[in-house]
Structure 1
Amino acid sequence: MIELAGQKGDVTHLAFAPNGRVVAASGGGRGLELWEIPSGNNWGRYERGPRFVDGSIAFHPTESACFGSCGNSVGEIETDTKKARIITIHGQGITYFGETSMVPDGSGFVSHCNADWLRDGTFFHLHWKRGDTLRVAWELRLDSTARRAPRVPQPQVIRVSPDGTTFVTLDASYGLARRPVPRIVRVAVRSTSNGELLRWTAIPASTRKDLTISPSAREFVTCHTNNLTVWNADDLEARPQRVQNDTRSNFTGIAFHPSGKYLAATSNDQTVKLYDTTTWQVAKTFTWEIGRMRSVAFSPDGTLAAAGSDTGKVVVWDVDL
């Protein structure tokens, strides 16, 4: 087990490099923070060039690159040189990046962007090439047609499925208030080829801004309060399976093991639980005294796991299943 010390605050997002030798974290105002494994060497915060903001993290599957949001651009870190650069959309003005998710083959991203925070924004499929700007493959505007109409639901989470054919979003409603607060209202599945809305269903407003898709892409999991919800990705009208925590603690983070046989879930306590995805019973519980858990991730080969806490600390351990 390796304990990594970082900036104070919630670690809400975690990701491993493809070789498992670098872990990246976001959340709690840290922007983007990286450590080497197993040495635990902290690369520090990137104060020059890209100014990373809290949000989703992605490592390229074959190139030595890590990506995070910089608000009005995407930030890229070359993990072999530790150099960072800002990537913008080719031919676009100032664009505010919301959620962004890398497609499985690393050829680009599905992103939700706004030119104006008062607008409903646009889905982009953006092609990435090292050293170049992001090139638009397609875009789909989400703006409401009526001037005073409520804003259409805005994606708070985007996850591209492992097979690359669809992406799943958790969408929030803003209403017409002067200072609207986003409220999760639905989960939706869209086509990666053009952004078309394929299916959606309403979900509880207490749903946490996190979801994980199984390696087979046949199901995905969301969480709200102390319940996990297991969805059939092809049929959102089918009754989902509910899995209740064995304590009253709320779930805070979820991740499928690359084998698909287990789901890891963190709670608002010191535990990480592994659920058998056949029975949805707890197969193993890990307890780490680094604070209340906020996030969890597996290395691509499934041999390592990492969990982030509310203290800024991250624990990495060997997964023995």
Structure 2
Amino acid sequence: MAELEGPKAIVQLLHDATTKWQLRQTLEGHSHYVWSVAFSPDSTVLASGSSDKTVRLWDVATGQLRQTLEGHSHYVLSVAFSPDSTVLASGSANKTVRLWDVATGQLRQTLEGHSHYVLSVAFSPDSTVLASGSADETVRLWDVATGQLRQTLEGHSDYVRSVAFSPDSTVLASGSADKTVRLWDVATGRQTLEGHSHYVLSVAFSPDSTVLASGSSDKTVRLWDVATGQLRQTLEGHSDNVRSVAFSPDSTVLASGSADKTVRLWDVATGQLRQTLEGHSDNVRSVAFSPDSTVLASGSYDKTVRLWNVAMDGEV
């Protein structure tokens, strides 16, 4: 693990009075694509995973680099904080998941077993289980305390691009290049949601656990009713792949990041587009809201992370 000096943080505040969401900072320092961003549960730290094989931890308030976590031998494709704030997970193209101690930056464990890239990682709400989705077409469930494999979920016929737990802990969702979303429920079995015409690249549950969003290479976002599995709405407007989706903490806004270099903000209740955030010069690969609802982060192939000031209810 190496600790570096903070990178140059370019503050670019937009002064247009009609702008609801403002660019707050651009975080520079990665030397290659930024694949994934995630906020700590207390909203003070942002993690970013990159093709430069590192995870960087940034201070959200100042934009300064806190630590660089090194050890992966290939791209870091996904990062996630445990809800209890003690562990950071990173999934890599080297087929492993690494668990890091958030307080010290030290490596706790390396989880091995996948036979291909680990494309997505997600913690259960109680922080005891980690799910990992892989290009080997499986989802693996790991015991966070021991690092032992609990279960392997099979059924997808292509890469598992994204995994997410519902906030109420009852469902695990997986999105795949086989064009489907699967809902895994220990009590009732498995459900498959069909409708996308191309790869499913990202899945996310609304904080109230009632809606699942899926972003796809078919350039759309679909909103599904979790209880019934029925399609609620299809959100259209992006001109290229939708790489990442994330709900605001109050479940009213959905952010979608796309290969068209933009982030779109959608009203969940109506499906209407609220705003399009522009500024990245390459694919937007990951989006995430801070748990305190004040910041939206976007990570891009342009090697930067952008932090946007969140203005809910039309406030600037």
Q: TM-score range by the shorter chain?
A: 0.7 to 0.9
Corresponding residue for residue 83 of structure 1: 106
Structure 2 Cα separation of the partners of residues 152 and 307 of structure 1:
30
Deviation at 1:103, TM superposition (A): 0.2
Q: How does 1:285-304 map to 2 (within 5 A)?
A: 285-289=276-280, 291-304=282-295
Deviation at 1:222, TM superposition (A): 1.4
Larger displacement relative to structure 2 (24-33 or 10-19): 24-33
Deviation at 1:251, TM superposition (A): 3.0
Q: How does 1:112-127 map to 2 (within 5 A)?
A: 123-127=139-143
Structure 1 Cα separation of the partners of residues 133 and 243 of structure 2:
24
Alignment partner of 1:199 out of 188, 191, 213: 191
Whether 1:4 and 2:27 are equivalent positions in the alignment is yes
Alignment partner of 1:106 out of 90, 107, 127: 127
| Alignment check: 8 A CA contact 2:219 2:240 kept | yes
Alignment partner of 1:169 out of 171, 174, 195: 174
Corresponding residue for residue 14 of structure 2: none
Structure 1 Cα separation of the partners of residues 280 and 190 of structure 2:
43
Alignment partner of 1:281 out of 243, 259, 272: 272
Paired amino acid for 1:242: T
Structure 2 Cα separation of the partners of residues 156 and 295 of structure 1:
12
Structure 2 Cα separation of the partners of residues 141 and 12 of structure 1:
24
List runs of 5+ in structure 1 lacking aligned partners.
144-150, 173-183
Distance 1:75 1:165, change over 3 A: same
- DSSP 3-state at the match of 1:162: coil
Deviation at 1:66, TM superposition (A): 1.2
What is the percentage of aligned positions where both structures have the same residue? 22
Corresponding residue for residue 24 of structure 1: 47
Residues 158-214 of structure 1 show CA distances to partners (whole Å, capped at 9, x for unaligned) of 211111111111234xxxxxxxxxxx23211112x47x7421133435234111111
List runs of 5+ in structure 2 lacking aligned partners.
1-23
Q: TM-score, normalised by structure 1?
A: 0.76
| Alignment check: 8 A CA contact 1:274 1:282 kept | yes
| Alignment check: 8 A CA contact 2:180 2:200 kept | no
Q: CA RMSD in A?
A: 3.0
| Alignment check: 8 A CA contact 1:66 1:79 kept | yes
Structure 2 Cα separation of the partners of residues 142 and 248 of structure 1:
32
Structure 1 Cα separation of the partners of residues 169 and 39 of structure 2:
19
| Alignment check: 8 A CA contact 1:16 1:299 kept | yes
Corresponding residue for residue 148 of structure 1: none
Alignment partner of 1:36 out of 59, 73, 77: 59
Alignment partner of 1:139 out of 138, 151, 160: 151
Corresponding residue for residue 69 of structure 1: 91
Distance 1:304 1:134, change over 3 A: same
Alignment partner of 1:14 out of 25, 29, 37: 37
Greater C-alpha radius of gyration = 1
Alignment partner of 2:184 out of 182, 187, 190: 190
| Alignment check: 8 A CA contact 1:187 1:203 kept | no
Whether 1:55 and 2:77 are equivalent positions in the alignment is yes
Paired amino acid for 2:104: T
| Alignment check: 8 A CA contact 2:299 2:306 kept | yes
Paired amino acid for 2:268: T
- DSSP 3-state at the match of 2:299: strand
Paired amino acid for 1:244: E
Corresponding residue for residue 175 of structure 1: none
| Alignment check: 8 A CA contact 1:188 1:197 kept | no
Structure 2 Cα separation of the partners of residues 52 and 298 of structure 1:
27
Paired amino acid for 1:162: P
| Alignment check: 8 A CA contact 1:9 1:310 kept | yes
- DSSP 3-state at the match of 1:56: strand
Structure 1 Cα separation of the partners of residues 134 and 221 of structure 2:
29
Q: TM-score, normalised by structure 2?
A: 0.78
Structure 2 Cα separation of the partners of residues 313 and 185 of structure 1:
29
Structure 1 Cα separation of the partners of residues 174 and 249 of structure 2:
21
Structure 2 Cα separation of the partners of residues 154 and 166 of structure 1:
20
Structure 2 Cα separation of the partners of residues 291 and 35 of structure 1:
21
| Alignment check: 8 A CA contact 1:23 1:36 kept | yes
